[in-house]
Structure 1
Amino acid sequence: MKKDGRYRFTLQFGSDSEEQIRVGEFLESLGNKKSAVMVDVLNDYLMSHPELQKAHCKIEVKVATGYNQDKMEQIIRKIVEERIAKMQLIEIQAEASQDEIPETMEDDIAQMLDNLDLFQ
């Protein structure tokens, strides 16, 4: 926005990627010199890409997430492996507790039979 012969803009972006954090920290370190740096950097960019200054130029912004295909696959693989390990642990615990049931039941039956002598 141009007011009183000066341009004024507000800039805001997230900290979702390493690139955003790096730029954000750099801009933060500039203090009151942000405007001068932005003018210089954007002028260099516009010199390298003169087509951007054409009236009907279409500007396409590609937003890349902080994750790529390989990283996503690694995360998913790790989650699946953790779930499988938990399931295997639960199965082992269930098998162990089932093995203990007959012994416990046999002990209970033996104790009941011993107690039958009391009723005679």
Structure 2
Amino acid sequence: METMDQVKSEAESPSRLIDKRIEELADWRGETLARLRAIIKKADPDIVEEWKWRGVPVWEHDGIICTGETYKAVVKMTFAKGASLPDPAGLFNSSLEGNTRRAIDVHEGEAIDEAALTALVQAAVALNTAKRPKKT
């Protein structure tokens, strides 16, 4: 039998909060965020979902991989270390001026290049895990 703390914890889990955000949007932004989320989770089954900064979905694996912010006209995926990632397909189209982050703005009706996004997520995971201290 679940305790109230377990029920409360499950109801407020980051994954559930992301589910709720997708449901609340109830338009192309929710559908886009759900699609991006599915690609991210498929690209790295060990990814951890977080909910930070008062309502931003965050995907982590040994550090932040990317965030999924929703705005009126765009769903923005910001890669924490995007400037250090190879982007042969040219997915990064926003926040290009910084030295660290890079973002992908997805507008209504735009197709998502699943293969290229999968490669980007996997490269971000590899970068994070390569910087992890080795256990002795």
User: What is the TM-score with the length of structure 1 in the denominator?
Assistant: 0.23
Q: Which has the higher contact order (CA 8 A, sep 6+)?
A: 2
